[in-house]
A = this chain, B = another copy of it.
């Protein structure tokens, strides 16, 4: 059925569909459903502690023997910067006042930890078929341990230069993340958001530049998108936003409602919620401060000052201070189970390719 089997054979999967690991938005249930359906399910580990990662992977292991992807961030955490934090809180002061929120109030803030020795030891214990990284790759000694544990290594590139770097540093396949993609840009060499290429331009240029297979990501939410990605030279796709519509997604009701209403022009890249550029549905904070603002402190610290605003607003049914991650193809999303979605995407893509060639 699939003309290019490189990713299928590399990862040991049946369908050329990887579920994008979405930190905070999916756990074991989605990974199990996608892997059981023949795609590659993923557990995003960046916002989980070691104990929780072991527990989720234990659940996955009980439910499926199929390959699964463990995903980690590998940013270098910025040192605390009291001046920038103060400037950020000052920028948010009108909102604290309006919502009657104490800036110092305890509220659950997202913790995003980079891949380290402790997490690597878990990988060595669990030995997942696949480990993927965002924001580059970990230090060579850690990467070597992951590879010696028998894991296939993937990572995301937002430019041709990043794809070449990942290949040179040992990635077994490269995820080409076009600008349409929801959530955090993988940018680790690139610094200029305005120059980030879209999926249409990125995928063929990456495919020409590297020898490892390319997995296309960004704006792919139905069978047409998968067929198109394969036409561009990708050997598989990574799909995120479409899976946010499944019952397995662990997103809030507010996020789910925003996704259901999102049109093609509803999203923008923003650094307000974490300090790094990420695509989300435009809401009040993004509109009023501008989606990319120098005042937001470095990743991953920007979210802490927003946490009490988010908590208070969400309690009142207001998502104006929440990160509503979504890609530009959210308008194509439909409510379906994650397993059914995986099978449907593959069947639609295959049918589309057949129809196009048969004319």
* Chain B hits for A196, CB < 8 A: 265
Answer yes or no: A222 CB below 8 A from chain B CBs: yes
* Chain B hits for A195, CB < 8 A: 265-268, 282
Give this chain's copy count.
2
Q: Is the CB of A200 within 8 A of B227?
A: no
Answer yes or no: A60 CB below 8 A from chain B CBs: no
Which of A161, A233, A356, A358 is packed against the most chain B CB atoms within 10 Å? Answer: A356
Which of A178, A195, A205, A231 is packed against the most chain B CB atoms within 10 Å? Answer: A231
Answer yes or no: A52 CB below 8 A from chain B CBs: no
Which of A38-46, A63-71, A347-355 lies on the face that meets chain B?
A347-355
* CB of A288 to closest CB in B, whole Å: 14
Which of A180, A201, A291 is packed against the most chain B CB atoms within 10 Å? Answer: A201
Which of A25-33, A106-114, A142-150, A324-332 lies on the face that meets chain B?
A324-332
* CB of A286 to closest CB in B, whole Å: 9
Q: Is the CB of B225 within 8 A of A204?
A: yes
Partner of A230 from B194, B199, B268, B356 at Cβ < 8 Å: B356
* CB of A170 to closest CB in B, whole Å: 22
* Chain B hits for A291, CB < 8 A: 194
A195-B265, A195-B268 as given contacts; A228 in contact with B232, CB under 8 Å: yes
* Chain B hits for A225, CB < 8 A: 200, 204, 232
Q: Is the CB of A357 within 8 A of B357?
A: yes
A195-B265, A198-B179, A264-B159 as given contacts; A227 in contact with B356, CB under 8 Å: yes
Q: Is the CB of B265 within 8 A of A200?
A: no
* Chain B hits for A231, CB < 8 A: 224, 227-228, 231, 352-353, 356
* Chain B hits for A227, CB < 8 A: 228, 231-232, 356
A-B contact pairs, 17 of them (CB 8 A): A3-B355, A160-B263, A160-B331, A161-B265, A178-B200, A180-B200, A190-B265, A198-B198, A200-B200, A204-B329, A204-B332, A205-B329, A224-B231, A228-B228, A231-B231, A231-B356, A354-B357
Supplied contacts A192-B268, A198-B200, 20 more A-B pairs, CB within 8 Å:
A159-B263, A159-B265, A160-B264, A161-B265, A178-B198, A194-B291, A195-B282, A197-B264, A198-B198, A198-B218, A201-B219, A201-B264, A201-B329, A204-B222, A204-B224, A205-B263, A205-B264, A206-B264, A224-B231, A353-B357
Q: Could you tell me which A residues sit within 8 Å of B by CB distance?
A: 1-5, 159-161, 178-180, 190, 192, 194-202, 204-206, 208, 218-220, 222, 224-225, 227-233, 263-269, 282, 291-292, 327-329, 331-332, 352-359
**3 tightest Cβ-Cβ pairs between the two chains A and B:** A3-B359, A198-B198, A200-B219
